[in-house]
Amino acid sequence: MIFEAESKVIRIGAEAVVSKLEWNGLKLVSKHRVPKPYRMPDLDKWVRDRRTLHEAKIISMLKKSGVPCPAIVLMDRSESTLYMQFIEGTELRNLLHDLPKKVIEALARSLGEIVGRMHLTHVAHGDLTTSNILVDKEGRLYIIDFGLSVVTDDLEELAVDVHLLDRSLDSAHHSIREIFMRNFLKGYSSTVGREQALKIMEKVKEIRRRGRYVEERRKKH
């Protein structure tokens, strides 16, 4: 660990531990990719290093394109750790049930514009759920956790982002899912263009159909 400071774990994921720390009055977040004992040590170090470097490059690309996400402060490749700006905010999933309809509509449109900008930068997030979207005190949105992100022009990979967001709303915020997604798509379309938005939504429908088919097959067997 480069920064000699006390840290507090705020999230434990499948491949990384995210902690909050303060260094010289600066609030930071560290994302440390932990070693995996089932991999050979040399391979494990290489995998963690490549994934750390990949995520840093993705975030740098997005920052240059105006996509709101935490800024990289430092990368410690020897420890497979990223140090990033700490966003004072709340996960979107913890706010939605308590917000007025107009605020939900505004947040959804804003998120659509942000995701549209991200997709125009040729980045698919890979895990776009309401847990990976922060809202600060001024109501500004930030996308976090780009560990599964890819650089791509593939319609399906971009559509998966929209599909995952829709699924996360359906499971945790079913009552507002329709109004949220309708306004999200307005913002998304205004950024990527109507034609591209329609192509993405056709792919989303295709993904849903495949998912239903697999589920039905599983129930029969």
User: In terms of domains, do 174 and 215 share one?
Assistant: yes
Decide if 2 is inside a domain.
no
User: In terms of domains, do 197 and 158 share one?
Assistant: yes
Which domain-ending residue is among 85, 100, 123? Answer: 85
Q: What is the pTM of this model?
A: 0.91
User: In terms of domains, do 162 and 205 share one?
Assistant: yes
Strand partners, 74: 83
| Cβ atoms within 10 Å of 24's Cβ, excluding its own | 7
User: In terms of domains, do 107 and 185 share one?
Assistant: yes
In the predicted model, what is the mean pLDDT of residues 124-147?
Answer: 96
Interior angle at CA 65, CA 159 and CA 117, nearest 5: 30
Q: Is the pLDDT of residue 214 over 60?
A: no
User: In terms of domains, do 203 and 161 share one?
Assistant: yes
Which domain-ending residue is among 85, 114, 134? Answer: 85
Catalytic site residue 127? yes
Q: Is the pLDDT of residue 191 over 70?
A: yes
Domain that holds residue 11: 7-85
CA 109 – CA 153 distance, rounded (Å): 23
Contacts of 35 (CB under 8 A, 6+ apart): 41, 44, 45, 48
Task: Tell me which amino acid residue 62 is.
Answer: L
Q: What is the CATH number of the domain that holds 215?
A: 1.10.510.10
User: In terms of domains, do 16 and 108 share one?
Assistant: no
Q: Which residue has the higher pLDDT, 64 or 214?
A: 64
Residue 213: predicted pLDDT: 46
Residue 91: predicted pLDDT: 95
Q: Which of the residues 49, 76, 98, 127 is marked catalytic?
A: 127
Q: Is the pLDDT of residue 6 over 90?
A: no
Quote the number of domains for the chain. Answer: 2
| Closest alpha carbon to 53 in 38, 31, 22 | 31
In the predicted model, what is the mean pLDDT of residues 82-111?
Answer: 95
Decide if 199 is inside a domain.
yes
Q: Is the pLDDT of residue 202 over 50?
A: yes
Residue 72: predicted pLDDT: 96
pLDDT band of residue 7 (cuts 50, 70, 90) is: confident
